[in-house]
Amino acid sequence: GQQLNQSPQSMFIQEGEDVSMNCTSSSIFNTWLWYKQDPGEGPVLLIALYKAGELTSNGRLTAQFGITRKDSFLNISASIPSDVGIYFCARRRGDDMRFGAGTRLTVKP
């Protein structure tokens, strides 16, 4: 019930392409977060979502909190080589924070 299903597991795209990934759960949550992990580093917060239906942008990144509060997606437009990394969704219920398995993004120049 508390497991997050993140997809796709990995993506290989050409520079300039748009990317879309999503996260679903069978439970309702108050907060959805998207993190990016560069190789050899810790995850860094990209976008935080707090309301059902909320759509938030951060540069070329756009994320939405699903209306049912059980899912979220992250879009990256016009990908560049430095977008390479692992993207994690995370959900928070109170102090409990859990992460999806990650989407590994490879961008070919």
Residues engaged in binding another protein (CB under 8 A): 6, 30-31, 33, 35, 41-45, 48, 50-51, 86, 88, 90, 92, 94-102
Residues 100, 6: contact at Cβ < 8 Å? yes
CB of 74 to another protein, least distance (A): 15
CB of 70 to another protein, least distance (A): 18
Residue 85: HSE in the Cβ half-sphere, 13 Å Cα cutoff: 19
Nearer to another protein, 6 or 79 (CB): 6
Q: How far is the CA of 80 from the CAs of 13, 31, 38, 58, 88, in angstroms?
A: 10, 28, 14, 15, 18
- Report the nearest approach of another protein to the CB of residue 103 (Å): 10
